[in-house]
Structure 1
Amino acid sequence: MNRKLLFLSSLLIVIILAGCGGADNAADDERQQPEERNQIVDELNPEQEITPSNPSGDDKLGFVHYTREQINSENEEEHTVNIDRTSLANMITRIILRNDGFDEAATLVTDDKALIAYGKTDDLEADKGADIAKKTAVSILPGYFDVYVSENEALIQDIQSLHNSSIQDDNYDNTINQIIDRMQQSPQGTEDSQMQD
């Protein structure tokens, strides 16, 4: 009888401990769900900084999700779009140079214009070179940009001289307009690659 009582007592203790452990696990699950939910919300937050495990953010996809109420309730001045003009100019120039027939290229990106001067080989037709350069910029830049191209290599130095300028400089508009006038003496690409007004 003692053995049966001892066995039943041991079994009862094991069942009670297992039940308590299960309750603890359920409580842990309930505590983890809000934490996991908050982690997912943080990961989807469009204003989240780049994570330390991926400092460049290059292997992540871009995704945001808002409701109309969130947008309407926010102060829009807090969410201005900043365009990294140097990165855009870098990307445009590198893509142009991946095409056959280009020896060198320089790109200047302003607040609403892109000026591209390039050197090309003799076997690249002037219209085709202009078309490639302009279509490259148009495919990368926002739609409101005006794009000007030129095969005149001397203009590379002219647009380079502006790269440290500011749009607040007194001669900025005058200099840009003079360069654009000179660029427009070169082919500007086919009609399809022209910016839409």
Structure 2
Amino acid sequence: MKKLVVIAGLCTLTALAGCQKDTANRDVYEESGNTINVNNKRHELYREGAAKDVRNVSTSYGFVRHQKSPLMNDNTANDTYSALDREQVANVISKLSVNIPHVSDVATLVTDQEVLVAYDTNSKDRKMTADQVKRTAMSVVPRFYHVYVSDNKALMQDVENLASFDSTNRKARDSVNQVIKQMKKSPQGYRMNDSEDENGLTPDDSNRTMTNR
């Protein structure tokens, strides 16, 4: 009988230890740097409840400007998102873009349907650099977004000025369209594919854009 009591006691202790170990493992997993970093990043770039309509996450445009750091690999960002916090997405695009060769200064504005990226570069292949900047932005935002780029440094201030507008303001839309018109005078890179032009517009998008403007 004593042996049975001892064995039963050992089994109980073993089970308790196992539970504690499982709990510890969950704690370590939940508190690990990678897990928390990922979740924190998601909360920075996603707004809770925004997934239902990513076009209307907020009424504010998101603007961020980045300059290349003299330190190697100091401007890294490796996240992609769907429901957008526009300012945080602009931050990611700018950070990634200043890591592109020959690009030293990037101003990015994210609206409810476009990304505008003005940048400073000394690249001799303007079209190639424009394509790299554009595709970098495309890799971050949802696919319905259209991306416009320009290596005209003077437009960096114009892009920044748009950040003060409320996106529900009619004047804001007119101002964005005017800046886009100026940006398109610069190389926009190559066509995205057979059905989308350099800015990611399909024929249907182009018709709607012309009607709206």
Structure 2 unmatched runs, 5+ = 42-47, 52-82, 203-213
Note the alpha carbon deviations across 1:44-70, whole angstroms, 9 max, x for none.
Answer: 9xxxxxx5665982267x9xxxxxxxx
Match of 2:50 in 1: 80
Q: Distance in 2 between matches of 1:196 and 1:43?
A: 46
Q: Could you tell me how far 1:170 is from its partner in structure 2?
A: 3.6
Q: Distance in 1 between matches of 2:15 and 2:132?
A: 62
Match of 1:109 in 2: 110
Aligned pair count?
158
Q: CA RMSD in A?
A: 3.5
Q: Distance in 2 between matches of 1:16 and 1:23?
A: 10
What amino acid maps onto 2:142 in structure 1?
P
Q: Distance in 2 between matches of 1:43 and 1:156?
A: 45
Q: Could you tell me how far 1:169 is from its partner in structure 2?
A: 2.3
TM-score normalised over the length of structure 2? 0.61
Match of 1:57 in 2: 36
Specify whether residues 56 and 124 from structure 1 end up closer, same or farther in structure 2 by C-alpha distance, changes over 3 A only: farther
2:160 matches 1:181: no
SS at match of 2:160: helix
Moved over 6 A (4+): none
Q: How does 1:45-194 map to 2 (within 5 A)?
A: 54=33, 57-58=36-37, 79-81=49-51, 82-121=83-122, 123-192=123-192, 194=198
SS at match of 1:165: coil
Residue identity (%): 29
SS at match of 2:118: strand
Structure 1 unmatched runs, 5+ = 1-11, 45-50, 63-77
Q: Distance in 1 between matches of 2:162 and 2:90?
A: 13
Specify whether residues 111 and 59 from structure 1 end up closer, same or farther in structure 2 by C-alpha distance, changes over 3 A only: closer
Q: Which structure's CA Rg is the greater one?
A: 1
Q: Could you tell me how far 1:159 is from its partner in structure 2?
A: 0.9
Note the alpha carbon deviations across 1:59-115, whole angstroms, 9 max, x for none.
Answer: 67x9xxxxxxxxxxxxxxx84324121221112112221122123111101111000
**2:100·2:133 contact (CA, 8 Å) conserved in 1?**
no
**2:103·2:120 contact (CA, 8 Å) conserved in 1?**
yes
